[in-house]
């Protein structure tokens, strides 16, 4: 876990995100539990408490929609891509050859192999659980924070992330395995990521067509929160205000009647 996250007041951050972004679902804290360390006692472990395996994206969507604390480990993984992205499994030849992508995401195994090579993954065997929890209920330090919203809300977060440093954010997209983008890419780059929810997130996590997401590594949370506060003062707000200070053009007969009123006065 990132030492920076120890200093984060997750409840305060939750309040600020609620004030300045107003997401429809709970912002989620992701905490990586080292191998050999038990998850929080109140966490639901899918294979034990739900009676079946799930995907990583199901887990964090339960956290953001239900308010549950979910701890996913190797035995809880139904999706091999999620297990690989979290470092629970080690890539083998069948996977690296592009067999999972061929015919579904890519035309050939060769193209699929390139796709698999470019997916970011956590170190194999380093972590025993990926724990997700609403910010207000998280008891572990957060390694990163994930926020779902509509495009305007994600834009609001991009502006906040660039408040101090300017420039632009760079994110990568493949339409597949957003678990890799959210966890591994965010932590390996140490940068915020605009997240395009993947096919699995939409099917199994029930993420909707109007939703995107934004991830913030622990090391950048304080900076983004400052950006939310200060850009709000500068007039960048959500809900985005509509400009209504104009005189509308009315239909011809309405204009005629308006002229009659004006002439009569």
Q: What does the pLDDT look like over 157-213, one tens digit per residue? A: 999 999 999 999 999 999 999 999 999 999 999 999 999 999 999 999 999 999 999
**Strand residues in 52-117 grouped as ranges (E):** 70-73
Distance separating alpha carbons of residues 112 and 91, to the nearest angstrom? 14
From the centroid of its chain, how far is CA 231? 21
Give the span between the Cα atoms of 230 and 182, in whole angstroms: 26
Check whether 5 has a pLDDT greater than 50.
no
213 SS3 class: strand
- pLDDT at position 8 is 81
How many alpha carbons lie under 13 Å from residue 253 in its C-beta half-sphere?
0
The pair of structure tokens assigned to 109 is 């195994």
Lookup result for tokens 């304080």: 222
Look at the block and give the residue holding tokens 């090391």: 219
Among residues of the chain, what percentage have pLDDT more than 70?
97
Token readout for 161 is: 């992330």
């Amino acid at each position: 876990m990132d030492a920076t996250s120890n200093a984060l007041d997750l409840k305060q951050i939750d309040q600020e995100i609620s004030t300045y972004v107003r997401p429809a679902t709970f912002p989620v804290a992701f905490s990586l539990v080292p191998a050999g360390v038990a998850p929080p006692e109140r966490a639901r472990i899918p294979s034990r408490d739900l009676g079946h395996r799930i995907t990583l994206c199901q887990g964090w969507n339960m956290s953001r929609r239900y308010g549950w604390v979910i701890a996913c480990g190797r035995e809880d993984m139904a999706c091999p891509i999620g297990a690989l992205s979290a470092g629970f499994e080690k890539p083998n030849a069948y996977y690296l050859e592009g067999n999972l992508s061929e015919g579904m995401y890519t035309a050939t195994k060769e193209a699929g192999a390139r796709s698999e090579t470019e997916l970011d993954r956590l170190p194999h065997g380093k972590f025993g659980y990926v724990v997700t929890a609403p910010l207000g209920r998280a008891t572990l330090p957060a390694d990163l924070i994930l926020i779902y919203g509509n495009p305007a809300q994600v834009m609001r977060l991009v502006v906040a992330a660039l408040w101090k440093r300017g420039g632009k954010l760079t994110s990568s997209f493949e339409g597949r395995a957003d678990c890799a983008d959210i966890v591994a890419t965010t932590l390996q780059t140490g940068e915020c990521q605009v997240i395009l929810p993947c096919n699995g997130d939409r099917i199994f996590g029930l993420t909707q067509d109007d939703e995107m997401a934004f991830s913030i590594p622990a090391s950048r949370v304080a900076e983004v929160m400052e950006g939310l506060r200060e850009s709000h003062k500068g007039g960048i707000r959500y809900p985005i205000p509509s400009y209504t200070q104009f005189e509308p053009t009315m239909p011809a007969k309405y204009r005629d009647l308006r002229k009659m009123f004006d002439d009569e006065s």
